[in-house]
Amino acid sequence: MTNPAAEGFRMPAEWDPHTRTWMGWPCREEVWGDRMEAAATAYADVARAIAEFEPVTMVCNPSDVAEASLALGSGIEILSAPIDDSWLRDSGPTFLVDGKGALAAADWKFNAWGEKYKPYDQDAALAAVIIEKVGARRFEAPFVLEGGAIHVDGEGTALVTEQCLLNPNRNPGLDKAAIEQGLKDYLGVEKVLWLGDGLEDDETDGHIDELACFARPGVLMITSPSDTDDPDYATVQDNVTRLKGETDARGRALEIVELPQPARRDYPDGGRITLSYVNFYMPNGGIVMPAFGAAEDRAAFRIMKETFPDRKIVQVPASDIAWGGGGIHCITQQQPEP
């Protein structure tokens, strides 16, 4: 059986040029409850911010098209298609390019973050719908993966966590070596950097896009708690130690940029809400990053300006998105220019 890497395809870096961004409209009552309207407003704010840089397509259940159209305005395309949930980073395709003008996509098996939400059959079928819509070549992956669990530098290196990819609720029949080979086959990478655990109470079981990401080849950004008593502090220190002992696929030592972590917030049941400035998105020429109404918002914005001096930084309120279990990166999926 062929695979993307064997056919010359790879996942480009998020900072490479995009054709558009894909998003999904909030719809799962179990996630949002009486916060559904606030979630819709937050998603619309993110969509409009991204639309200042590149086209955006919002996938909506047919029953939500009218509401979404009014909230989004005329500048954002809507695709009516059945969905169970609204985290397009995870349920959508991961697009690939071959450097010769062809566009393809990996269609991962999707099981709602280890069977946490049911039903999820419509989300599991969504990637194929989008791939057909854009006319890309579809590669059906033989294993479970979410787009928020991976980050690449576009030059052969992938970043993941053991907590997520080795979790028995994803691929219990695959060991670390098999999963790593799958990433190489379907992302076109040459080296996988394995971090350990993700952030405390992260419902995704440690998605990398809440913890760390590439800013450019050889440079990573990582969430950095300042409180040594915070359970995330030891987790992050372990991951920083791992990174300092690694090189990327091109043999470069890794520079690490730390982003502050906002003060802890909890759900009414006591579980921790995942708040991370690392969970940002890179549209053409810009950065759309979260604001949490926290004291750390200003410092995070300054660090982003220093790290990305050639990009316009836009900070969008994201506390209502975080309530649902994710962030700005989690609700977006880039379609690269082929």
Contact assessment for residue 257 and residue 246, using Cβ atoms and an 8 Å cutoff: no
- Report residue 204: phi and psi, to 5°: -85, 5
Q: The tokens 């799958």 sit on which residue?
A: 182
Determine whether 27 is an active site residue. no
Contact 120, 84 (CB under 8 A): yes
Residue 216: name the closest of 11, 9, 16, 10 by CA.
16
Which is catalytic among the residues 27, 164, 213, 330?
Answer: 330
Residue 52 burial class via C-beta count within 10 angstroms: exposed 0-12, middle 13-18, buried 19 and up: middle
Contact 120, 24 (CB under 8 A): no
In whole angstroms, what is the distance from residue 72 CA to residue 64 CA? 12
| Token pair 């639309």 in the structure block, residue | 51
Determine phi and psi for 291, rounding to 5 degrees. -120, 140
Cα separations (Å) of 66 from 61, 74, 80, 83, 212?
10, 12, 10, 16, 37
Edge-first strand listing for the sheet containing 255-260: 212-216, 219-224, 255-260
Residue 152, token pair as written in the block: 């690449």
**Residues annotated as part of the active site:** 330
